[in-house]
Amino acid sequence: MARSKPSPSPSEASPLRRAHLRLGWPLLLSGVLAGVTLEGLLGFKWTALLGDPLRRELLALAHFHAGLLGLVNLVYAGYADSPGLGERARRAASRALRLGSLCLPSGFLLGGLWHPEGDPGLGIVLVPVGAVAIAVAVALQVYAVWRRPLT
């Protein structure tokens, strides 16, 4: 049975891999802490959260997307140096994923914290920006996988 090479430590990792590890862990932590905070606020029946379903929904979406995108970045760290993409495309995919990972949960958070009656706040404009950026990163990786067979 062939032994796999041990993965490099973050200090030996490529700059792209290191960037995703450095973003993934804090995003995951913020998602977990936001979830615990929301549960605590709901448990103590905080009226600003219970009385405002839009705020509650947007803050829950911010918490969920922060945690999920933290995990996505941690997984992506293993694919950041994908051989199916050129250097420029690798950097573009990495940049797009990192941008989307920051914009998407931030848009939900800002849209939920300060909002007029019945509508999300202005920060919600970051959500589609983040979604498009993540879609670009995923599309580039799909291209890389189909361009070069997995080994």
pLDDT in tens, 80-127: 887 888 899 999 999 999 999 999 999 999 998 888 887 888 999 999
Q: Confidence band (pLDDT; 50, 70, 90) for 1?
A: low
Would you say 69 and 104 are in contact if contact means Cβ atoms under 8 Å apart? yes
* Helix residue spans in the chain (DSSP H): 15-43, 47-50, 53-76, 87-113, 126-147
pLDDT, tens only, 32-85? 999 999 999 999 998 888 888 999 999 999 999 999 999 999 999 998 887 888
- 107 CB burial (10 A radius; 0-12, 13-18, 19+): buried
Q: What is the pLDDT of residue 85?
A: 86
Mean pLDDT of 127-146: 94
Q: What is the pLDDT of residue 108?
A: 96
CA dihedral 103, 125, 60, 113 (to 10 degrees): 110
**Residue pointed to by tokens 């606020």:** 41
Torsion 72-73-77-79 (CA) sign: positive
Does 25 score more than 80 pLDDT? yes
Q: 21 to each of 27, 115, 128, 129, how far by Cα in Å? A: 10, 33, 24, 22
Does 140 score more than 80 pLDDT? yes
Instruction: Give the residue with greater pLDDT, 146 vs 72.
Output: 72
pTM of the model: 0.85
Q: What is the pLDDT of residue 150?
A: 56
Q: Count the Cβ atoms, other than its own, within 10 Å of residue 70.
A: 22
